[in-house]
Structure 1
Amino acid sequence: MNKPMIGLPLCRWQLTDRDIGWFHLVGEKYISSVTGYGAFPLMIPAFGDDLDMDTVLDSVSGIMFGGSLSNIHPSFYDDEHPGLGLADKPRDATVLRLMRACLERGIPFIGICRGVQEMNVLFGGTLHREVHAVDGRLDHREVKDVPDDVAYGPIHNVTLTDGGLLHRVIGDREMMVNSLHGQGIDRLGEGLQVEAVCEDGQIEAVSVIGAKAFALGVQWHPEYRYWENPQYDKLLSAFHEAARVYQAKKLERKKEAIAMT
């Protein structure tokens, strides 16, 4: 296959009361932000420990850990709180395995919204369950009952870390971004670098220090109409370019292995 294959982890929700009422789902905008850059989406079911990890990792050249209606269950960051809103423990277990494996293999990945929170939890960080309830923080939740272009429109400013990965990708020190999250990073995970901070002090983007490949997460949604936003396009383009580089290296290794047989 000439196209890089980008993995999209799925959510697992029970949409009916039947025992067979479980569905594996992903938002179409994430699929579009893969195909729109000439890649092919590979859906990754939320099988947790039963996921055939080698098959997935051997197939992909990058993974996009997208957003979701669900929240990471607090038990995954050693909190006994029962959690707020919709939970999805199968996704939690699956994604944390996948992220760790990507880092070990040097497979590029990007975390979006829930994805950046998953990165923080993987590295031992914690989450605010209600950012709007934290003293001094803005209300980062989605504005309800408005058109998509309003809900996903620019809401607040973020300042990018000078010289950081995101700054190098975007080329600007500031961005106006959308905001549709209730939870957010509290204690930063060890091994992560802050890449962007909201005007209220909330961490909005992180990268993995010393990662072998592109490993960046953002709290906003750059996949929404990325073609209309040059900064969003630069971010997604950088991820996809890293995936193409990984794919080229993978094909070269395969050719070398064949030549040696």
Structure 2
Amino acid sequence: MARPVVGIIGNSYLLNDQYPVHAGGQMNTEAIAEVSGCLPLIVPSDPRFVSVEELLEVCDGFLLTGGRPNVHPEEYGEPETEAHGAFDRARDAVALALIRACVARGQPFLGLCRGFQEVNVAMGGSLYPEIRDLPGRMNHRMPPDGTIEEKFELRHDVRFTEGGVFHRVMGASKVLTNTLHGQGIKAPGPRVVVDGHADDGTPEAIYIKDAPGFTLAVQWHPEWNAANDPVSRPLFEHFGAAVRAWAADGSALPVMTAAQ
């Protein structure tokens, strides 16, 4: 039997500083294939090549990946500044509309890092351009030096709402995660439920209130060592269950059901 398809939102960059490509990290495909039990399909996130309508028909669920470019602040009504960094307007055009369509249909998605930020912006929220510049906040950015293992090292706790969705998914009210992001949620969208925070108050786990399907998103990178990490594995397993339910008969598996 064919596995259900998860569209992995790709990123645009220059290979060897001159050859334009659409690509996704291997750890994303590993997590989807080996933990979620789905077929990973990298999506070229550019409206010149794909439409949201086509993606909704071809894919059963979506992984909204991390990426170096940030969501453009015009998407949440703020002017561009140097602090906002680099952008990918093509990905903005695909991902933000796709998130809203998935929320409405009940089609499952899982957001990671930039994907977490995209979910908030798509649902009417805003972002801080640089978390580490805020009073009382820690530096959440990726360490500039070291091995990849050191860059993805577990570095801070995330505390979930007692009895909430993430508490139930993880089987714990506090977990240890990595952190590799510069931006973060400023104002949550009207339906965005912040269900987990770092110790410095930075939002780290969200879902969409009253959405018919699976809408979890996290600010960290659970795709790293997903098969073995006790925090990452249940997240991708529950996402896989939601994708299989959609693929089977178009059933929207609500996040609370997926967490049972």
Give per-residue Cα distances to partners, 1:160-198, cap 9 Å, x unaligned.
012221111111100111000011111111101111001
Residue 47 of structure 1 and its aligned partner are, at CA, apart by 2.1
Runs of 4 or more above 4 Å deviation:
14-18
Structure 2 CA distance, aligned partners of 1:111 and 1:230? 18
How large is the RMSD of aligned CA atoms in angstroms?
1.8
Residue 13 of structure 1 and its aligned partner are, at CA, apart by 2.9
Stretch deviating more after TM superposition (109-118 or 68-77): 68-77
Residue 17 of structure 1 and its aligned partner are, at CA, apart by 7.6
2:51 matched to which residue of 1?
52
Residue 224 of structure 1 and its aligned partner are, at CA, apart by 0.3
Q: Letter of the aligned partner of 1:131 in structure 2?
A: I
Q: Letter of the aligned partner of 1:100 in structure 2?
A: R
Does structure 1 retain, via aligned residues, the 8 Å contact 2:31–2:227? no
Identity %: 35
1:186 matched to which residue of 2?
186
Residue 82 of structure 1 and its aligned partner are, at CA, apart by 3.5
1:231 matched to which residue of 2?
231
Structure 2 CA distance, aligned partners of 1:220 and 1:17? 27
SS at match of 2:144: coil
1:256 matched to which residue of 2?
none
Residue 50 of structure 1 and its aligned partner are, at CA, apart by 5.9
1:82 and 2:81 aligned: yes
2:127 matched to which residue of 1?
127
The answer for unaligned runs of 5 or more in structure 1 is: 252-261
SS at match of 1:228: coil
Q: Letter of the aligned partner of 2:142 in structure 1?
A: E
Structure 2 CA distance, aligned partners of 1:143 and 1:82? 24
2:256 matched to which residue of 1?
none
The answer for unaligned runs of 5 or more in structure 2 is: 252-260
Q: Which has the higher contact order (CA 8 A, sep 6+)?
A: 2
Q: Letter of the aligned partner of 1:222 in structure 2?
A: P
2:159 matched to which residue of 1?
159
Q: Letter of the aligned partner of 1:66 in structure 2?
A: T
Structure 1 CA distance, aligned partners of 2:13 and 2:88? 7
Q: With structure 2 as the length reference, what TM-score do the two structures score?
A: 0.90
Residue 14 of structure 1 and its aligned partner are, at CA, apart by 4.4
Residue 49 of structure 1 and its aligned partner are, at CA, apart by 6.9
1:259 matched to which residue of 2?
none
Rg bigger for which structure? 1
The equivalences for 1:140-219 within 5 A come to: 140-219=140-219
Instruction: Identify if the C-alpha distance between structure 1 residues 82 and 14 changes in structure 2 by more than 3 Å, giving closer, same or farther.
Output: farther
Across the two proteins, how many residue pairs are aligned to each other?
249
2:63 matched to which residue of 1?
64
